[in-house]
Amino acid sequence: MPMKTFRGLLPDGGKDRIYLAGGDTTSGYRIAKFELMMYDPAGDEAEITIQVWKTSAAADAATKYIDFTQDALLAAGYIENNAAPYYPEDFTVIFDREVINQDIFITNNVGDAGSLGINYYIELEQVKMSDNETAVVNFNAALMVT
Residue 29 pLDDT > 70 = yes
Sheet-wide strand order for 27-38: 3-10, 118-128, 27-38
The pTM is what? 0.84
pLDDT tens column, 109-138: 876 555 678 899 999 998 887 776 776 766
- pLDDT computed for residue 88 by the predictor: 52
Buried b / exposed e along 57-85 (16+ C-beta atoms within 10 A): ebbeebebebeeeeebbbbbbbbbbeeee
CATH number of the domain at 3-145, out of 2.60.120, 1.10.150, 2.60.40, 2.40.10?
Answer: 2.60.120
CA distance 109 to 54: 17
Contacts of 4 (CB under 8 A, 6+ apart): 29, 123, 124, 126
pLDDT tens column, 41-90: 776 677 888 999 998 888 888 888 899 999 899 999 988 877 666 555 77
